[in-house]
Structure 1
Amino acid sequence: MRRLLTLLLIWSSQSLAEQAVLRFSVAESWSMPLVRIEAEQPVEGLLYDLTQALAREVGARPVYHVMARLRLQEAMEQGDIDVRCYVSTRWFANPPKNFVWSIPLMHQRDLLVGRPGVSPQMSLGQLPAQTLGTVLGYTYPSLQPLLEQGRLQREDSRNQLLVLQKLQAGRYRYAVSNQLSLQWFNRSQPNGQRLQALTVLDEQELGCMVRNDPAIPTQGLLRALARMKQSGEIERIVQRYEGLGHQHAMPVAQP
């Protein structure tokens, strides 16, 4: 029996050594429900589940590189990561040429958010000059004209959760948040203290970028993502986290 166990351990070690490795990027600015990071590694969340499922689809072992959002493009260009997910074509002025886009996988809405009691019909055009809570390294195309005019100023935090916590604490009157993160934040807030979605600032389709390199199964990864989308697996992953905050979701005024 002892010899059998030894052989099984050797076989398992060899299998792991031979298994292909996929290097996924994780932005430090992500927070739940996208991802929760412990000891500089993701341990749960929507994007953790998605990348784990993708690695299983192609029989690879996922390895995660957690880094500042502003370093992501540099890491891609240097070949330090293989797959970057939760990204939009609109976020790149000069996208890395050695990466291939997946099909769109999920839809994101960026919202103007206020504290309880603020008029739910508030729009950007109605805002007086002030500071907005934003995430470091994020781009907000709808805000850019007002930022350039000096009517609005950014107060950046390192992740979305901190932005919403500062809004709740009264650090500023308004902030920008994606809808999933707002719903997740509000799920733990009592009635009368939930932050309000005031208007939709922007909407975009998000997908993954895969390094085009013979060392990794680029086309296999793209086909796997397409299968996951077509089968409804990605939608089920999103709904798993969307549903946890759904009871506190609220209608959003269109711009």
Structure 2
Amino acid sequence: MLLTALAATGTAAAGDPALYVLVDGSIEMPQARVEDGRVVDGLQYQIAMELGQRLGRTVRFRLVPRRRMAQLLGEGHEADLSCNYLPGWLPGPLQWSRPYLDDADLLVTAARRPAPAQLQELAGQRIGTVTGFLYPEAEAVLGAGFLRDDAPNLVTNLRKLASGRMDHALVGRVSFDYLQRRGEVPLELHPPLVVAKLRPACALSPHSSLSLAQLDAAIAAMLADGSLARIVEHLR
């Protein structure tokens, strides 16, 4: 069942076609801020609103469970796209835009424990992860030794680290840096270990009335005129 279905109208005229954007209902800033059941800010919100303006479409957001995102995009019913993802995270017959953002998967370790020199050292140890998120690099390196300790989101994982329930966690660099800059990392950590460099993009439903060429052209224009850079900088 969907968590809820929401709408946020952009600057396009009321008669213009809608652009349905799926947002994972469990994510937090800087990816998305949800207030009173509405997506109101964050990277995914601002990128979608900028795309809607350039494409002449009214943007409507739908909060959905992460595990259903790929399925809903594949079906294409009131589901056009979702941004800031990778093909490995949303498997299926989806179309993918050009990448537009630099990110990374990081391993963070509590300072009370020795810092691992490489991910392989953590085989058989619990690692904080987020429910529904995929970690293909960790799975490839650790295999059966990848012991996930799931939490609803990054903030909860950091609290679990602080309480000593585990010593390591996998985090996204953009989100982790956002929390660090705001003093919201509640414990001392070793410098992060880069597990994988990432270049997120937008997943487009194969049934969308928006073509991949149109989406790529809008993203290219946002890169060229600095709009994307300003969105990212605003949320640092």
> Shared topology, TM-score over 0.5?
yes
Q: Deviation per CA, 1:114-134, whole angstroms, max 9, x where unpaired?
A: 223544554222236321110
For 1:102 and 1:49, locate their aligned partners in 2 and report how far apart those are by CA, in whole Å. Answer: 17
Structure 2 counterpart of 1:167, which letter? Answer: L
For 2:36 and 2:185, locate their aligned partners in 1 and report how far apart those are by CA, in whole Å. Answer: 34
The reply on whether 1:188 has 2:147 as its aligned counterpart is no
The reply on whether 1:18 has 2:15 as its aligned counterpart is yes
For 1:26 and 1:191, locate their aligned partners in 2 and report how far apart those are by CA, in whole Å. Answer: 24
Structure 2 counterpart of 1:43, which letter? Answer: V
For 1:192 and 1:218, locate their aligned partners in 2 and report how far apart those are by CA, in whole Å. Answer: 42
Report the CA distance between 1:53 and its aligned residue.
0.9
Map 1:118-157; keep pairs closer than 5 Å.
Answer: 118-120=113-115, 122-127=117-122, 129-145=124-140, 148-149=143-144, 151-157=145-151
Report the CA distance between 1:138 and its aligned residue.
1.3
For 1:145 and 1:60, locate their aligned partners in 2 and report how far apart those are by CA, in whole Å. Answer: 40
Tell me what 2:87 maps to. 89
Cα distance change on mapping 1:222 and 1:191 into 2, 3 Å: closer
Cα distance change on mapping 1:139 and 1:128 into 2, 3 Å: closer
Structure 2 gap segments, 5+ residues each:
1-11
Give the TM-score normalised by the residue count of structure 1: 0.78
Contact 2:179–2:185 (Cα < 8 Å) also in 1: no
> Which is worse superposed, 195-204 or 18-27?
195-204
Q: Deviation per CA, 1:142-178, whole angstroms, max 9, x where unpaired?
A: 22146533x3311111222222222222221110001
Cα distance change on mapping 1:147 and 1:136 into 2, 3 Å: farther
SS at match of 2:73: helix
Identity %: 27
SS at match of 2:165: coil
Structure 2 counterpart of 1:89, which letter? Answer: P
Q: Of the two, which has the highest radius of gyration?
A: 1
Structure 1 counterpart of 2:205, which letter? Answer: R
Match of 2:69 among 61, 64, 72: 72
> Which is worse superposed, 121-130 or 218-227?
121-130
For 2:211 and 2:141, locate their aligned partners in 1 and report how far apart those are by CA, in whole Å. Answer: 44
Cα distance change on mapping 1:183 and 1:220 into 2, 3 Å: same
Structure 1 counterpart of 2:29, which letter? Answer: M
Tell me what 2:27 maps to. 30
Report the CA distance between 1:56 and its aligned residue.
1.0
For 2:43 and 2:60, locate their aligned partners in 1 and report how far apart those are by CA, in whole Å. Answer: 16
Match of 2:233 among 199, 220, 239: 239
Cα distance change on mapping 1:140 and 1:192 into 2, 3 Å: closer
Cα distance change on mapping 1:141 and 1:128 into 2, 3 Å: closer
Match of 1:101 among 96, 101, 118: 96
Report the CA distance between 1:95 and its aligned residue.
2.6
For 2:208 and 2:127, locate their aligned partners in 1 and report how far apart those are by CA, in whole Å. Answer: 44
For 1:136 and 1:166, locate their aligned partners in 2 and report how far apart those are by CA, in whole Å. Answer: 14
> Which is worse superposed, 64-73 or 112-121?
112-121
For 1:192 and 1:20, locate their aligned partners in 2 and report how far apart those are by CA, in whole Å. Answer: 45
For 2:19 and 2:198, locate their aligned partners in 1 and report how far apart those are by CA, in whole Å. Answer: 26
Structure 1 gap segments, 5+ residues each:
1-14, 243-255
Report the CA distance between 1:69 and its aligned residue.
1.0
